[in-house]
Amino acid sequence: MCEGASGTGMDAALVAPRPALGDAIDPIGLEPVDEVIVTTLVDNVYDALLQGDERTTRVSFGVGLAEAPQFEGGETAVGLRAEHGFSALVTVRRDVTTTSLLFDAGLSPDAMMVNADRLGVDLLGVQGVVLSHGHFDHVGGLAGLAGRCGGRSLPMVVHPMAWTRRRLTVPGADPLEMPTLSRRALEAEGFALVERRQPSLLVDDCVLVTGEVDRTTEFERGMPAAHEAWTGSGWRHDPDVVDDQALIVHVRGRGLVVLTGCGHAGAINIVRHAQRLTGISAVAALVGGLHLSGPAFEPVIGPTVEALTAMAPSLVVPGHCTGWRAQHALAAALPNAWTAGSSGSSYRVDAA
């Protein structure tokens, strides 16, 4: 863990993940918390005109300043950065103990750190990192975090397939190989890697990382043929992105808060998997990328919205790769739950 991590009294042994006991027919004992706050450090959108409410905190252009000699006073307001990526700070409170985890790190090496600094978030205080999957738009900011931590150890939960080489082979264009996450580089930078396919409990059993998500719906069929993975001897269609995993918190009296990176396993698959793992049916919030953008995924919007509406979540914050058509559909179907995502916004769920 980075120096200065916090003052919560929790050490690495307490925060580090361990195997989660139980399975779908023997629910995992996920301890309820009194509050969870999800702060989006990086998202595809930054909107300084969004208004907050009792559950959402927004930031204005004034949160960031930059030198600009063409203005009187020599500076201007720049707000926060938005990019095609996702990163969130998850802060959970149970009784008097508060713990923060980083979920994903955005696309570029510096955007997450710049936004955190402008928000006054000290990422030296995070007690661990969880990666939703290995795609480069969720891990790029680890370089900035490693530079800030100065080589000191920080636990990181990652699926063992996150190191997979992948590429896009769009018809009519040359294959585009994605940047591949390096295990060796992360270990050299001080990250203490914990690779698990199965569910893991963190933070004294208050946070659950799903591990691989069961694919049970008929309509969530994964990535199109253009998404390929390297097998060691050749490229093959990679529809499942099996390293896709989510982070789950149980807020006392409210239900599950489900945080996704891209939701490659399918938003409904992920929520149902969380319900099966924990034995808790109530869904308090769904936050993060739902991957419903583009021709391959737009046919999935209707059944996704229908299934999610039946779950009656109190808060839905679709971000990153959700896409504008799905945003409109979700806002229309869930007007009291849907909330616009934006870099720098914080979403709070309190115990009942």
Mean pLDDT per 10-residue run, the chain (352 residues)? 38 49 70 98 97 96 93 95 98 97 98 97 94 98 89 89 97 96 94 96 96 97 97 97 98 98 98 96 98 96 98 98 98 98 98 97
- CB burial string 60-89: b at 16+ within 10 A, e below: eeebbeeeeeeeeeeeeebbbbbbebbbbb
- CB burial string 169-198: b at 16+ within 10 A, e below: eeeeeeeeeeebbeeeebeebbbbebebee
Q: Tell me how far apart the alpha carbons of residues 261 and 52 are, in angstroms, rounded to a whole number.
A: 23
Neighbouring residues of 197: CB distance < 8 A, sequence distance ≥ 6: 159, 160, 211, 212
Q: Tell me how far apart the alpha carbons of residues 311 and 251 are, in angstroms, rounded to a whole number.
A: 16
Neighbouring residues of 165: CB distance < 8 A, sequence distance ≥ 6: 177, 178, 180, 229, 230
Alpha helices in the chain (DSSP H): 12-15, 111-119, 142-149, 183-188, 267-278, 301-311, 324-333
Share of the chain residues as helix, strand and coil, in percent rounded to the nearest 5: 20, 25, 50
Q: Tell me how far apart the alpha carbons of residues 73 and 60 are, in angstroms, rounded to a whole number.
A: 19
- Dihedral angle of Cα 32, 38, 315, 258, to the nearest 10 degrees: -60
**pTM given for the model:** 0.92
